[in-house]
Structure 1
Amino acid sequence: MRVISILGSVFLVSACIKAQAENNEEQLLIISDGRIKDTSVVSPSSRISAQELQSISFNTVEDAISHEPSVIVRRRFIGDPNGVIGIRSSNMFQGTRSMVFADGMPLHYHLQTRFSGSPRWSLVSPAEVAEVELIYGPFSAEYSGNAMGGVVNMTTKTPTKRKVILQGSLFSQDYSIWRTDENFNGGRAFIAYEDRFEDFSLHLSYNHLENDSQPQTQYNAGIITSPTANARTVSGGFNGSNEFGQAVIYYADSGPTNAVTDLFKAKFTYDINNLKLRGSIAYEERDRKQDSANNFIQDENGNTVWNGLVQLDGQAFNIRGSNFQNRDQDRNSLLSGLGLSGDISSTWLFDAFYSNFRILDDSEVRTGRNPLDPDFIAQNNAFRGRITEFEDTGWDIFDIKFGTQELFGNPSQRISLGFHVDSYELNIIADDYNSIDNIRPADETDGDLSSGRSDSGGKASTLALFAQYGYTLSEQWDLALGLRYEDWETKDGYSGGNTVEDRTESGWSPKFSLGFTPNDSIAVRYSLARALRFPIIEELYRNDGATSDGSVFISDPSLQPEDGIFHNLSFEHTLASGSVKVNVFYDVVDDVIFNQSTRTDIGSITTSLPVDEVTTKGAEFTLQQQNIWGSLLDIRYNLSYIDTEITKNILNPEIVGNDFPRMPNWRSNLILSYPLSDKFKMSGSVRYASDSSGRLDNNDTEENVFGAHDEFIFFGVKANWQLAKTTLLSAGVDNIANEQAYVFHPWPSRTFYLEATHTFGE
């Protein structure tokens, strides 16, 4: 069935090309980003342009949505590969409930979850972005249940003439916590060549980013109430508390993480009569090192103590030597896509797009102990080191969509139809090794895939059909109906050397939306949708035995799809140069898949726990206004309230009534921009979020400590100086007040940045 469906879709594309060749006198309407009109009609949305993005720090592409309503991106530092995203009722560790596209190419990483499942933001450079649109909720049949939170659609700039663009940035973070008091510095360089040759446009670019982060982990240990005679007397630690309010001693931090990214990219468009062919290929090399752990503890002779039982001021605690591992990760990946859009007739359009993503090389090496630890060689010889690799990992996705705004010659009716097929594969190979200097080559496995005790992986695929119908009932009333069918299949699953039975699931997702526009400036709409979010490969199959640091990951191959009902009532008032919007939403999701980690004295345990039911009530207010009150001041402001509660859980009834983890009740963002002259513009920004819990039991209530999820308010300022038509200088500061706050890991402290852009050929 899948092969027949794909071949049928290819035939339809061929038929479209033939029909267009016979009817090329009609005006072309391209849906090059793969969207259909009803998606933005039935769904709440927010847009931000490239010009508006100049008002905030825009060092990496995920910064583009950092100030948008009901959105959180946990970017821990500039260059962070783990910039997980949460939208509305989906928290930042539920990345499988959000979708991210750039010109129709998927950047979301629906192979893994939690921090490993963050979108591949770095496959797009900030200088490429023309506009970003956020679509909230799964109210359109165009998108799968992975849009339970929402969809991020980025549109990049299309070359119009020959240009060479040079851009350089410098940034510096002032960090001082515990025994680390340093400036962590980095920079970014971008060069692009763009050209237009009649019907053909070309973009070639290279983006290099290198940065040192603040220490991401702070190590602590619980106090042992009965010290033993074997405990060595030490100095240098700090008394404090953990996220549960328990007394602990902080004895180290992880030191900086050095992140280096190189992105090579080529894009083209080619107009063929009234068709548009588009293609893109992005190759990324990423290297991440952590080899400068900051150990606070010294013995009576001034020697660093790397592990064992010690006592500080009569308080005994254990130092875990595995915390001081050196880590080195190399990751090379390739994302390519090819699309074709155009008219089928005077009223029908189509858009077809194929994308392919492959991890070419991804390996992480962890030593057993720190090389300065006297037990370093012995621990590595005891197979305490670890290498983790990805093999045969990636995806293939094909979409074809058809749409018309005039069905059967009736301009009051519209319809969109589509077909989707995807195929995902994940293979994680995790082995011990006995020497940091003698690691087996990445292509030499210990037998077949799935033979190792911690190897895991498998395949998952989906075939989907959708229809979205709209009918203009009158000048004031509009009705939209949608239906999506999905057929999901897993196969070749394995976990720790054990194979897992194949599975198939299917389901229907109906959509309903009713709009009322009493006049040209006011619009009211109610949207209702069901959505199914099927488990991903890691949630089903990943089972790690105890690693060198004692950590364990336990998945569940029997997980059922998340099944949710979503409501949204929107009010919009259009202003002369802006708008005011209010959204009220209510979501109920059954069989919620949540990956939670619990830290223990010997490591951490991560499980995929299904929660029977989670209910969300929320509201958003947004104001966007240019030249407010007749002045030159522009404003973008939003305020969100979200109450996400566990309302049913048979397995553990004690958590019923608790807040769902990592979901602040309040979020608010403000951007103000004011031109001081024709060439000089000042902007100020504020980001706020209330505190939250990181656990289902809500027991992590301590504030401003490692592991907490704190309330924060971050102030930023930016200045743009248009030195010449071709030259722009920018400077700014984020977190001006240097507020210390944690999102389990520490948020960035005060960060300065400077950027210059020069264009040849303007």
Structure 2
Amino acid sequence: MFPFHVRLHALALACAATCLPLAHAQGVATDNELAPVVVTGSKGTARSGLPAGLPGSTATKTFDQLRDQNLVNPEDALQYQPNTTVRKRYIGDRNALVAGRSFGTLQPSRALVYLDGYLISNFLGRFDAPRWNMISPEAIERVDMLYGPYSALLPGNSMGTTVAVSQRAPKGLEVSGRVIAARQSFDQYGHKDHYDAQQMSLHLGQRLDTGLWFSGDVNHQDSTSQPMQYGTGLANASGVFVPPTNPSPTAVTPVTGVVYDTDPKGLKRAIFGANAGAIDQTVQDTVNLRAGYRFTPTVEGSVMASWWGNQSKTRNVTFLRDANGDPVWKGDVSHNGNIFRIVDSSFAPSTRDESHQQLGATVKTRNASGWNGSMVISDYRILNDEARQASQPDPVALSSGGSSGTLTRRDGTGWNTFEVQGTWTPSAGDWTDGRHALAFGLHRNAYKLDNTVADTTNWRQGEGTLSQYYRGKTEVIALYAQDAWRLQDDLKLTLGWREEQFRALDGRQFALNQAEVYPRRTLRGHSPKAALAWSVRDDLILKLSAGRGVRFPNVEELYNGTVTSTARTFSDPDLRAETSDAVELSAEKTWDAQRLRVSLFHEDVKDAILRQSTTDATVCKTNTVALNYTCVQNVDRVKTSGIEFAWQAQDLFIRGLSLDTTLAFTHAKVAANAKDPTSVGKWWLRVPKERATVQAGYQLNADWRFSAGYRHEGRAYNDVYNLDINPHVYGGVSSVNQLDLRGSHQMTRQLELALGVNNALDARAYQSHPYPGRTLFAELRFKL
């Protein structure tokens, strides 16, 4: 009997041989499943969405709908999607993580993100968010969301949320672009400042009579963040700040400027300033080239090439001043009888220089019925990633003498994907009487991570001496099949199965002069799917969906063992895959100009993978002494239940008024955890108890449009034992209540001016890091 992976590779070759003559980015099966439909009511009002028979609940935002919000970065398109969190901390954030129904931003690998069918999900590490930077904001045509692991066509990471971003292909000659300027006001701990951002983008496209089309997009952005984190000193349970070990009385500097508050767990805390590279200035450039050609009336192909570059530098702000009023950046200091030690690296700056590349190609057939096939390949590669960290505070690090530091490289890291799909679509009078529609395929993705750290005598230059690294590869090969069986004209049963094999290999780790080499591992996943859709009437659809999703651990969760002067990271090479068994009952009702969806959902996740950061060594089950710890663990069982509402209305009360509202209530708790019984019964981390959005748009006339949006997220927890009783401070996960406004004026047929504000009431909110304060926008858009 051949090994499973050998049989899968043989099947891949057979499937490729079958599909190549027909041959796809999204695959023909995925195309069919995600093909938008337009429904027009009796009043002539049209809405665009995904097919009602799709397994699981869906949501859509089109380009026109997205113009009702202040969309600067691509991930902003998700801000008003049902039951969704985007942890975008500032304009230009490279770590805008996605969270959904049953998972928080500590489990980013439960979200799939595709751009024109190409995978841009970065399953390499905890804070490696989807590569939103590869998307051209000016070219976005629509954003579709799919909830839950109900489609056999999607990998196990779809157990949370799948985001499909589509960029428009030109219909003729297209030239458009925009210029955006933004200013944020931010005030915390007595430090107040403004932080600016600018963005310019240009889109060019052309479709020729020969069937060839091509487009190019460029985007340039320069932005500066508000402070992301603060240097702190924590009192004990009695409210006493324990002095550092052996402070020298002659070396203790009396200071002013220490700010006191209460931390998320209710302990007294001292704040010394914005530290650890708190304020990030980032300059980013994206180039996105695409082309397609219809070889015959039924065979077409397309290619894409994208590049993204980032140069960022960080700085810090100390609140401390000595008797002469000069800033104090390090050493032992005293304030109000308390003595604190500010380590040398606390206010150290950093820089990062990186360039990424993505290449992709697809070929597919477009027969109206019968057999179709497709093939898609893509490769995402980090060409250069150089992160330099100083070991001394700003004044020393930036002086002519400089300081020592570290250099972290991730050059060559990336992933590649390969997928072949086939479909058979019935036609009237065929042997199945037109009642079966088949889809099948083979999928492979492979991830490689190479993270090295070197000690440098000059933090701004040189390669230094290798001091630690972690490396590894993962691979998933999957076979899947799905059948949409129309039992009756008003009743459709979709059955699917996905078989996956996971391999982890070449795992290596080196730190503190100790090297580890990890053996290969192989895991398997079996994912049955089923969905029953009943069209009770033309305007009412009931749907029952059930499915399993298997999410395998990523390279960093398996092999990261990073050591710094203040922190330790503990990975687990024996992590098990997390398995989600989910069920959903939904009803969707449409009227002439309204649409309402109600969904009840339940999810049972076994071996949930949790990666958390803490100052408590007992959480990570270690005796190692450090200021901060990060560890990854399997949690035996987490159960989540909830209800979700999504309501859309057009021409509501008065002509030109549209309304889009969402509301969700969620109950997510740890149901079993033999290794840590104290966590049982506690709320799962960073999943809000409720989420709600309201977005209203008003088209006054052909030239003027106004919109307002309100975003709310309720109570969530950032501590595995739910001890964070004071979430509305730095370090906590607070509720969110923010009002956004926008108005636009079509000055000429070619020019449009828009003014807007996000967080108009300047409400504070935290996802551990502080969210932005009030931010003003001015946008000038042109279209020829």
Question: Aligned residue for 1:24?
Answer: none
**Deviations 1:294-336 (CA, angstroms, capped at 9, x unpaired):** 1011222323222232221222222233121111011100011
Stretch deviating more after TM superposition (307-316 or 117-126)? 307-316
Distance 1:731 1:505 in 2: 52
Distance 1:133 1:14 in 2: 28
Q: Map 1:230-309; keep pairs closer than 5 Å.
A: 230=249, 231-254=252-275, 255-273=278-296, 274-291=298-315, 293-309=316-332
Question: Aligned residue for 2:719?
Answer: 695
Question: Aligned residue for 1:322?
Answer: 345
Question: Aligned residue for 1:185?
Answer: 196
Question: Aligned residue for 1:110?
Answer: 123
Q: Shift of the alpha carbon at 1:196?
A: 1.2
Q: Shift of the alpha carbon at 1:720?
A: 1.5
Stretch deviating more after TM superposition (723-732 or 709-718)? 723-732
Is 1:205 the counterpart of 2:217? The answer is yes
Aligned match of 1:358 in 356, 373, 381? 381
Aligned match of 1:661 in 662, 685, 702? 685
Distance 1:34 1:184 in 2: 45
Aligned match of 1:421 in 444, 458, 462? 444
Aligned match of 2:502 in 488, 493, 500? 488
Contact map agreement 1:162 1:194 (CA 8 A) in 2: yes
Question: Aligned residue for 2:106?
Answer: 93
Q: Shift of the alpha carbon at 1:244?
A: 1.3
Question: Aligned residue for 2:46?
Answer: none
Aligned match of 2:759 in 729, 735, 738? 735
Aligned match of 1:571 in 579, 582, 587? 587
- The letter of the residue matching 2:738 is F
Question: Aligned residue for 2:153?
Answer: 142
DSSP-derived class of the 1:322 partner: coil
**Deviations 1:541-576 (CA, angstroms, capped at 9, x unpaired):** 11112x13x111110000011012101000110111
Measured at CA, do residues 351 and 628 of structure 1 come closer, stay the same or move farther in structure 2, by a change above 3 Å? farther
What is the TM-score of this pair, normalised by structure 2? 0.90
Aligned match of 2:16 in 10, 17, 22? 10
Q: Shift of the alpha carbon at 1:578?
A: 2.8
Q: Shift of the alpha carbon at 1:440?
A: 1.4
Distance 1:328 1:57 in 2: 29
Question: 5+ residue gaps in structure 2?
Answer: 1-5, 36-50, 617-624
Q: Shift of the alpha carbon at 1:31?
A: 6.6
Q: Map 1:609-624; keep pairs closer than 5 Å.
A: 609-624=633-648
Question: Aligned residue for 2:62?
Answer: 49
Aligned length: 732
Measured at CA, do residues 577 and 39 of structure 1 come closer, stay the same or move farther in structure 2, by a change above 3 Å? closer
Is 1:440 the counterpart of 2:463? The answer is yes
Stretch deviating more after TM superposition (324-333 or 400-409)? 400-409
Measured at CA, do residues 229 and 314 of structure 1 come closer, stay the same or move farther in structure 2, by a change above 3 Å? farther
Measured at CA, do residues 703 and 577 of structure 1 come closer, stay the same or move farther in structure 2, by a change above 3 Å? same
Question: Aligned residue for 2:540?
Answer: 522
**Deviations 1:714-757 (CA, angstroms, capped at 9, x unpaired):** 00110121112222211100100001111111111000001111
CA RMSD of aligned residues (A): 2.1
Distance 1:259 1:152 in 2: 26
Aligned match of 2:598 in 579, 582, 598? 582
Question: Aligned residue for 1:457?
Answer: 471
Contact map agreement 1:265 1:280 (CA 8 A) in 2: yes
Stretch deviating more after TM superposition (481-490 or 171-180)? 171-180
Stretch deviating more after TM superposition (424-433 or 580-589)? 424-433
**Deviations 1:108-151 (CA, angstroms, capped at 9, x unpaired):** 101112x2x20000111211111110000010111121001110
Question: Aligned residue for 2:135?
Answer: 124
DSSP-derived class of the 2:386 partner: strand
Contact map agreement 2:29 2:421 (CA 8 A) in 1: no
**Deviations 1:8-32 (CA, angstroms, capped at 9, x unpaired):** 3432233326xxxxxxxxxxx9778
Distance 1:427 1:557 in 2: 16
Q: Map 1:344-743; keep pairs closer than 5 Å.
A: 346-373=369-396, 380=403, 385-406=405-426, 408-440=431-463, 454-496=468-510, 497-545=515-563, 547-548=564-565, 550-599=566-615, 602-629=626-653, 631-743=655-767
Distance 2:725 2:86 in 1: 22
DSSP-derived class of the 1:757 partner: strand
Q: Shift of the alpha carbon at 1:416?
A: 0.8
Contact map agreement 2:20 2:374 (CA 8 A) in 1: no
Q: Shift of the alpha carbon at 1:34?
A: 7.7
Measured at CA, do residues 222 and 625 of structure 1 come closer, stay the same or move farther in structure 2, by a change above 3 Å? same
**Deviations 1:575-602 (CA, angstroms, capped at 9, x unpaired):** 1123100000000001111110013695
What is the TM-score of this pair, normalised by structure 1? 0.93
Question: Aligned residue for 1:23?
Answer: none
- The letter of the residue matching 1:154 is V
Is 1:60 the counterpart of 2:73? The answer is yes
Distance 2:200 2:52 in 1: 36
Question: 5+ residue gaps in structure 1?
Answer: 18-28, 447-451
**Deviations 1:364-412 (CA, angstroms, capped at 9, x unpaired):** 000001142599999945xxx2111113311110111112331744311
**Deviations 1:499-538 (CA, angstroms, capped at 9, x unpaired):** 1000111121101111222111111111111111111111
Distance 1:236 1:193 in 2: 53
- The letter of the residue matching 1:363 is E
Q: Shift of the alpha carbon at 1:603?
A: 3.2
Measured at CA, do residues 403 and 124 of structure 1 come closer, stay the same or move farther in structure 2, by a change above 3 Å? same
Distance 2:490 2:215 in 1: 44
Contact map agreement 2:138 2:202 (CA 8 A) in 1: no
Q: Shift of the alpha carbon at 1:236?
A: 1.0
Contact map agreement 1:34 1:351 (CA 8 A) in 2: no
Distance 2:436 2:419 in 1: 24
Distance 2:313 2:293 in 1: 41
DSSP-derived class of the 1:700 partner: coil
